Structure 1
Amino acid sequence: MDTAVVDLLTEGLWLMVIGLGIVFTFLAILVGLLVLVSKAVARWGPEDVPPETRVATHPLAAPPAADDTRLIAAIGAAIQAYRRRHRP
């Protein structure tokens, strides 16, 4: 090979190694800072307060029934009808 080509390949490899080193170093520093900030927030941050649960209902909707026996019976009948039609 020509010495100029070897010099260009060597210089290209050095630039690649330097560039990858800079990117790797930057990402390592970024991960380290994120871990430190996460630990700081966990230690000194505000306590987690569960949000207040509200059930949004339509003003014209009927209130939920306390006794759902008719619904349970309808579901049971539907399951039995499905099983009768789809026997293996």
Structure 2
Amino acid sequence: MSELMSQAIELMVAGMGFVFVFLVILVFATLLMSKIITRFSEPEPATPARSSRAKKPARPSVDPGTAEAIKKAIAQYRSRHKK
């Protein structure tokens, strides 16, 4: 039983070691790719408002009448379930 347990511990340590080494390599590969991409990509514009990717102002998704009805329903619910 002792020999089986020592083999299990060795296998566990080896497996955890391989996973750790793989994750370290993955981190360094990600950092390297990030540096390569930033080196060859074009710089971001200084003023994002002038770029074509600037966000347009969002339209309200709910009309004012619906918003008022929701507010009244919430107020009514809270007044009924007040403790």
Residue 61 of structure 1 corresponds to: none
RMSD over aligned CA atoms reads 2.0
Q: Normalising to structure 2: TM-score of the pair?
A: 0.55
Any idea what SS the aligned residue of 1:52 has? coil
Divergent runs of 4+, >6 A: none
Residue 41 of structure 1 corresponds to: 37
Unaligned runs of 5+ in 1: 59-88
Q: Which stretch of the first structure deviates more once superposed, 49-58 or 16-25? A: 49-58
More helix by share: 2
CA shift, 1:53, in A, is: 5.2
Write out per-residue CA displacement over residues 37-84 of structure 1, whole angstroms, 9 at most, x where no aligned residue. 1111111112213233544669xxxxxxxxxxxxxxxxxxxxxxxxxx
The count of corresponding residues between Structure 1 and Structure 2 is 54
Matched-pair identity in %: 35
Q: Normalising to structure 1: TM-score of the pair?
A: 0.52
Match of 2:3 among 7, 10, 15: 7
Write out per-residue CA displacement over residues 3-35 of structure 1, whole angstroms, 9 at most, x where no aligned residue. xx1101100011001100110011001000000
Unaligned runs of 5+ in 2: 61-83
Give the number of the structure whose alpha-carbon radius of gyration is greater: 1
